[in-house]
Chains A and B, each alone.
Chain A
Amino acid sequence: MATIDPTAREANVLARINTYLNGLSVHGAPKLVLIGENGFVPQRNNPFVRFDWTAISSRDAGRHSATQVATRVDKLLTADVFYADGTERDPHNAYDIVRAADDVAHGLRRMNLDLQDYSDTPAAPTAVTGVRIRALDPPDTTPLPSSDGWARYRVQVPVTWDLRHTA
């Protein structure tokens, strides 16, 4: 059976992005809930940022070599920033969430990562040359209505990379 090219393993991309997101410095040091991380339970007064990604499309992107073609993959990366709403007895700084969302947006805006192949040696992944995982557009930052006692900002940006596979 032919081996899967490292660029075509979505797990490699996911791990690389999660590693990057986990290293973001965000105002107020909220808990970072990474893509695919399950089991997190929100707790009052503990702000958190929840990352997620959604498939958009994949398109032909020409040939990579004599034997491989390239496919451009787009995913919509979403970061939901949650801070507990303040109350009369427990007032909160209303700008903390804005600053946190701004930090997240800044992190996504400058995202330009190499692809790491985690399949052989997960503890010491090797870089795959010529593949970048990038956010091509500036992220959208949108305040969403509060619900369940939580204020919320959403930061979204499409991320793109080219995967290779045998024609």
Chain B
Amino acid sequence: MTAIVSVEFLQAEFDRALAEFASSLLPEAMDTAVRKLALDICADTMIGLNGVDGLPKRIDTGRLRAAWRVGLRAAGIKGAVPTSPSKASEPGDGTGEVTANGTHVEATVSNNVKYARFVEDGTVRMRGGHHLKRALILARRNIPTDRSPGSVSDEIHRAFGGG
């Protein structure tokens, strides 16, 4: 029995599909990925503030934690982040925006509560919480192409003799 298989490569069709992917689907995918990343970082920071995994719990009124949520919403990122039953939340506590230029997408979420830096970094008399730093490390690990220190890709790269 003889089987004959023929393959035809439609160059024009391939180019058209690739161009469509690059012009419409790819920017949309990048936008979704970056928004998801911003959401993850803020969510992990809020979880850290709650005192999980032995992290120092830094919740009094809940204002600092709520400000991350305010920032996410300002950036138009509405995800299932933990709700913050805050009694103290003032306008401007959180700001955020997402800007895009083709496949270059940037999400900025800011926590503007005055004492945020002291909760994160600590003071001369108080140890830092490092909640945001921890969230950033966790987020980097989830980016497959990220080679920054601490990422999974970086560990694999070096395990196989990479510099």
Contacts and interface: CB of A to CB of B under 8 A. Distances in A.
Interface of A: 42, 50, 52, 54-57, 74, 76, 78, 80, 82, 136-138, 144, 147-148, 150, 152, 154, 156, 158
Interface stretch (B3-11, B23-31, B80-88, B121-129): B121-129
B134 interface: yes
B57 interface: no
B55 A55 contact: yes
Contacts, number: 52
Contacts of A156: 130, 133
Interface in B95-154: 121-125, 127-130, 133-134, 137-138, 141, 149-150, 154
B155 A150 contact: no
Contact of A56 (B125, B137, B149): B137
Interface in B62-95: none
Tell me the dominant secondary structure on chain A's binding face: strand
Contact of A76 (B121, B130, B155): B130
7 contacts: A50-B127, A56-B138, A76-B130, A76-B133, A82-B124, A136-B158, A156-B130
B45 to A, nearest CB: 12
A52 B54 CA distance: 12
Interface residues of B, number: 22
A147 B124 contact: yes
Contacts of A82: 124
B7 to A, nearest CB: 41
B53 interface: yes
B125 to A, nearest CB: 7
A112 B158 CA distance: 17
A56 to B, nearest CB: 5
Contact of A42 (B125, B134, B154): B125
